[in-house]
Structure 1
Amino acid sequence: MGERSRGLTATELEAYFAFTEVSSLLRHSVEKQLRDAGDLSYVQFQLLARLGDAPDGRLRMTDLADGVVYSRSGLTYQAQLLEQRGLVTRGPSPEDERSTVVTVTEAGRDALDTVFPGHVAALRELLFSALTDADVEELARILGRAAGQLRANPPRSAAPRRRKGQ
């Protein structure tokens, strides 16, 4: 392939392939753990985790979609499935009736409590056990910078919605 392959150096290409391989392998294992422990998809887990971290356990659907980088229609479907299981509730926002607010229920918090120990164990075993503390700090710094770059020009599913009048 030479020094450059379609504009990437050999090192850049190696880093890209390693990143995509780690991401794919880790996601597959994490998704299996979430399904086995709590019958949750990865997106459902992200949705519940974000709600669980919200100060009052509630967020607007658009903010959830922007945060998890998922289509708004796809996230609506996932929230509907969680609502059918009693893990969240959905309703109009008190501030803006056009917005839908999703709130985690006690059953949703219980589901998070059930999956979190295995989730953390999987991350430690599969990813962090091979890294030193300094490696993890460097990884967080590097990926944080890359995420910031990607968020500067996000896909539609990750772009914050503009409110009328802005």
Structure 2
Amino acid sequence: MQEPPSEPSASVIRAWGRLIRAERTVVGRIEAELKSAGFPSLHWYDVLLELKRGPEGRLTPREIEEAVLFEQYNLSRLLDRMEKEGLVRRIPFPGDKRRQLIEITEEGKALQWRMWSVYAAAINRFISAKLTDNEAGQLSALMLKLIQE
């Protein structure tokens, strides 16, 4: 019979709760800033940024899924909406008609750029104003430890 796992310490449990609350709070505030400026959600920005970074502004849906910072289960519907808005287009994958590439349009690049001004200001307001560069570096290093296998 296997022994039950040991209980996490109180400080580990507190860190876990604060990590989740911090993520929800900061993302919620940034989303509110984007919405009040008349922009779509942070998910749209994330997809547009990754496409802009991709070779020739193109990625496969799988590459987008691996790159974005949000849950991918709604990515197909999100891409449909973005395509209707003229921000991305689907193009055939060279040599494989069953696959496709998603390509950012000029309108998509322009939206990503306009959204960045609001997003960057929100990052400054909700993170830079509260952490020194040294503290942000420490936090970044700690978060990296959590996401590494």
TM-score (norm 2): 0.87
Deviation at 1:26, TM superposition (A): 0.8
Alpha carbons 2:57, 2:104 under 8 Å: kept: yes
Q: Which residue of 1 aligns with 2:98?
A: 98
Equivalents in 1 of 2:28, 2:101: separation in Å?
30
Q: Which amino acid aligns with 1:70?
A: E
- The percent identity for this pair of structures is 23
Q: Which amino acid aligns with 1:71?
A: Q
Q: Which amino acid aligns with 2:39?
A: D
Q: Which runs of 5+ in 1 are unaligned?
A: 1-5, 150-166
Figure out how many residues of one structure are paired with residues of the other and give that number: 143
Alpha carbons 2:39, 2:115 under 8 Å: kept: no
Alpha carbons 1:34, 1:42 under 8 Å: kept: yes
Q: Which residue of 2 aligns with 1:50?
A: 50
Alpha carbons 1:65, 1:71 under 8 Å: kept: yes
* 1:60-106 Cα shifts (integer Å, max 9, x gaps): 0011012225335x111101100100011112211433222111111
Q: Which residue of 2 aligns with 1:70?
A: 71
Matches within 5 A, 1:7-156: 7-68=7-68, 69-71=70-72, 74-149=74-149
Moved over 4 A (4+): none
Structure 1's 80 and 14: CA in aligned 2 closer, same or farther, altered over 3 A? same
Alpha carbons 1:59, 1:101 under 8 Å: kept: yes
Q: Which runs of 5+ in 2 are unaligned?
A: 1-5
* 1:13-54 Cα shifts (integer Å, max 9, x gaps): 111111111100111111122233353122222111111222
Structure 1's 108 and 36: CA in aligned 2 closer, same or farther, altered over 3 A? farther
Alpha carbons 1:38, 1:111 under 8 Å: kept: no
Equivalents in 2 of 1:38, 1:57: separation in Å?
25
SS at match of 2:89: strand
Q: Which amino acid aligns with 1:134?
A: N
Alpha carbons 2:89, 2:102 under 8 Å: kept: yes
